[in-house]
Structures are given as C-alpha cells and as structure tokens.
Structure 1
Amino acid sequence: MIDKQSPIPIYYQIEEYIKKMIENKTFNPGEAIPSEREFTEMFEVSRMTIRQALTNLVNEGILVRKKGKGTFISEGKIEQPLQGLTGFSEEMEKRGLVPSSQLLEFKILQVPESMTKQLKMSLNQKVYEIKRIRYADQIPMAIETAYVSCDIIKDLHEEDTLQSLYAYLEKQGLKIGHASQTLEASLVTKEDAKLLDVPEHSPVLLIDRLTFLSDNRPLELVKSIFRADRYKFVIDIQRKD
C-alpha cells in the first residue's frame, strides 16, 4: 500500500491511497472512513503522519470532519456560476436539490449607518433584517443575513421568508435588475460553525451582494457565509480582443 523506502513522503502516499479508494468506490460519499487509530495500525506509521494526511484531504474538500462523529467522505461541492443573477433556491432547484430555510431572526430596524450609502437611505428609514440558514437537501449550506428596504416592500411577514425571497418579490410586481457582489475567504466563527454543522475554524466564503431593481433602486444588501467544503463559485472569463 505504501513504500516506506520511497522518497515520496508517507503522508502523501496515504493521501493518494485514500483518493484511490474513493475513485474505486471502496469509500463512498457521505460514508465514514476508518479512525486515525485504525489507519495507524493499517499502515504501521505514527498517528501524527495519519493526522497530517487526513488534514490535507480535509483542506482539499475531499474529506470532512464532524465533531464527535468522525471523518467522512465529502458529498462533493455545489458549483454556482458567477454569471447571472439568481437566488439560492433557484440554484439548488437547478441541481435537483430541495432548498429550504430556517429563520433565525426577523425584525424591523433603522438602517445601519454603514449601509446608508449602499442602500441610498437616510438614517431615519427602516429595513427588514432577515437572518436564515439555507439548506440543500436538509444539509446546511449557508447563513444569510439580508437587509431589505421597508420603503420598497411594505408588508413582509416571517412566513414569506421561508420561501425564495426573489420569487416572493417578483410576485409582488417588483422586477430585479442587477447586483454587485464581492467574495472573500475566511474562517468560520464558533457560533456559525454550530449553525453550519462544521468544525471550528473551517474555511468559509464570505459574500456580500447588493441587489438593485430594474429601475436601479437598491433593494437589499445580503451578507452570506457559505461552507467552503460544499460550495464553490465558477466563472467563465473571456480574453478581450
């Protein structure tokens, strides 16, 4: 299985062995792999070597650790193109997954001063603050906090937030035009790790999206935290003449 006389590091050989087991369907997505102790006995190497190999595979998104449960084969990442403006529910349905939401907070508050410029609002105006966990096939994928103008949506209720917000808005006769979006990498906080069911300090993707109506009025500012082990963004880039 591994060659201890090889110049190739043992931890790397173990990584390749596990990858081959996945390719051969010996280990299937969602299944638990042997424990560190079992791997240590199997390969007759130190536990530190096994831990390094498994950690590298976790960082690659091939494995995922679940606190108190063990290490599992990743279910694979959902790809979302950065072209086009779609909501979470629309993207999941395109992939044959069932989207759902758990509402964590729903309240009306004065627009935060830090958002007044982006939303083109004054401090005396109000926004809905909507914080949700977004699920795909009952697996938590993201934590989403949206700030939506109360002047544009007059009568939003908690039950309305359990569906696609974009679909709800379009039913109200509002036409969504475009959005600007930023994306950066970070590590999950202790509180968010529990909500996303990932280990503390796991990598996450932080996404801020400012959405406009077709008449260029700012509609909402959304701050999202996506699991980096289950989600990735892709973009088609063309070279200009």
Structure 2
Amino acid sequence: MKKNLLTLDVALSKEIKYMLKEEHYLPGDKLPSERKLAELFHVQRLTVRGALNLLLQDKTIISKPRSGYYVAPKRILQSIRNFSLHSEEYSGQLTYELYDFKKIEADNYLASEMLLPEKSKIYKIVWLYSDGTQLICINTTYIPEYIYPDLTQQIAASAPAIDLITNNRQITLAKSNQKVTLLYADTKTAQILNIPVDSPLMKYKGLMYDKQGHLAVFFENNMLIDRFGFIREVVL
C-alpha cells in the first residue's frame, strides 16, 4: 500500500509541476489550496499533501505558515570566479544597503584569518543584500588599511567592497581561497534576517589577493541556505 501511495504522490507532484509551467506561474505566485488541488486532480487531500511535500523537498515551492504554498523564488547564483551575485529572476540586480562601517584593529581571530599582525588597521564593512522581497545575505568585508588608506563611510556606501577595490583603487584580484560551511543563526543574525534563531545558514567566506600576492579582502557572508547556489562561472 505504501508503495502505491508513494507512486501516486510522485505522479501528482509531476502533474502539479506541469500545471505550474503550462499556466505560467511565476516565483511568488500562490498555488491553489490543498482542497482545490484535490478537486482538480480527483485525488484525496492526503495524496495532495504528499505531492506538495515532495515539491517542498526539491525547492519547487515554499510553504508560508497560515498562508499556503507558493512558487519558490529562483536561487541566487554565486560565482566562485568573479565574486559576483547573479540571479536569473532578477538579472543580477540585487539591492544592497550599507549596514555598518568602522575602522578597527585586528583581534586574534581576524589576525589569524587574514594572516596579519594583531592590531593591524582594517576596515569592517557590513552590507545587507535583498532580492527585492526579503533580506537574503549579510556580507561582512574586511579591507586592510594599506589597500584603501583613505576609505570613508561615504565612499563605502557608494558601492560593494569588491567594486571599490577593483574600480576605485584599480586593483586586479588575481586569486582567492574560499570555503562554504553550515552554521546556525545566532540572535543578532536572526533579528537582521528576520528568521528564527538557530535557522540553518550557509557561511561563505574567503580571502582575495592582488597580482602581487597581497591580501586585498577577507569576507564572510551569512546566506539564506535555500536562496543560493554556487557556480564556477556566470555567463552574461
């Protein structure tokens, strides 16, 4: 019996996918209720629920408590070659806002990560990225003072840190070391991203170097785990 029920769930999930495509549902569009889907496909609501769970698992749809099911937003593609964000849905046009800017001294953690002497002067810049509907990423970038000696908050607010370095300072980023790990949102991160504490996130961090091998940037991104994917190259 379980095998037949599972087969029906899978078949119905494919039918719902086909419906979404043929009826031109867009990311963010709401699906019909479980009751209406059951009537439309002439199946029991239990079968509909199983099919919807399969679509939740493969990220075709998302569920909003006390609201219903919606077509999932497309993932933001993070290029590991040109360090930019790109989305099919938003054509790379993500919005960003400067959240914090300060000049600090490297503590033990930053000195170890950036291979700099402790108390080295560095800039800490925090950006909040949004896809137009919600905050999806907290980007924290650290720039050694020697890379951009006259950096100010006004300058930092004009463009993301990578653009400031490559365009304003004419520095070519030649190589990088990058790493993706799983973490769980602490209280502050959860408040900023408006998610529950201990929600799973991707931590994407890395070091970027110029042609001479000098460290130019150390970054740490806390990213919504269901909104990002990684690619080797973005084709524009």
- Band of TM-score, shorter chain: 0.7 to 0.9
1:217 aligned partner: 214
1:142 aligned partner: 137
2:203 aligned with 1:206: yes
Question: Structure 2 vs 1, CA of residues 85 and 21 (structure 1 numbering), >3 Å: closer, same or farther?
Answer: same
The C-alpha deviation readout for 1:45-90, integer Å capped at 9, x for no partner, is: 34xx6555434322322112345643210232233443x23334xx
Question: Structure 2 vs 1, CA of residues 206 and 28 (structure 1 numbering), >3 Å: closer, same or farther?
Answer: same
Work out whether residues 67 and 198 of structure 1, in 8 Å CA contact, stay in contact via their aligned partners in 2. no
Partners of 2:2 and 2:118 lie apart in 1 by: 69
Partners of 1:27 and 1:173 lie apart in 2 by: 44
- Aligned 1:81-92 pairs, distance under 5 A: 81-82=79-80, 84-88=81-85, 91=86
* Greater shift in the superposed pair: 49-58 or 224-233: 49-58
Structure 2: unaligned runs, 5 residues or longer? none
1:167 aligned partner: 163
Deviation at 1:199, TM superposition (A): 7.0
Deviation at 1:193, TM superposition (A): 5.2
The 3-state SS of whatever aligns with 1:97 is coil
Structure 1: unaligned runs, 5 residues or longer? 237-241
The C-alpha deviation readout for 1:5-57, integer Å capped at 9, x for no partner, is: 981414434422321212222533220113446556764334xx655543432
Q: What TM-score, normalized to structure 1?
A: 0.75
Partners of 1:137 and 1:72 lie apart in 2 by: 16
Equivalent AA in structure 2 for residue 147 of structure 1: Y
2:104 aligned partner: 109
Work out whether residues 142 and 217 of structure 2, in 8 Å CA contact, stay in contact via their aligned partners in 1. yes
The correspondence for 1:228, drawn from 205, 225, 228, is: 225
* Count of aligned positions: 227
Work out whether residues 66 and 198 of structure 1, in 8 Å CA contact, stay in contact via their aligned partners in 2. no
Partners of 1:114 and 1:17 lie apart in 2 by: 52
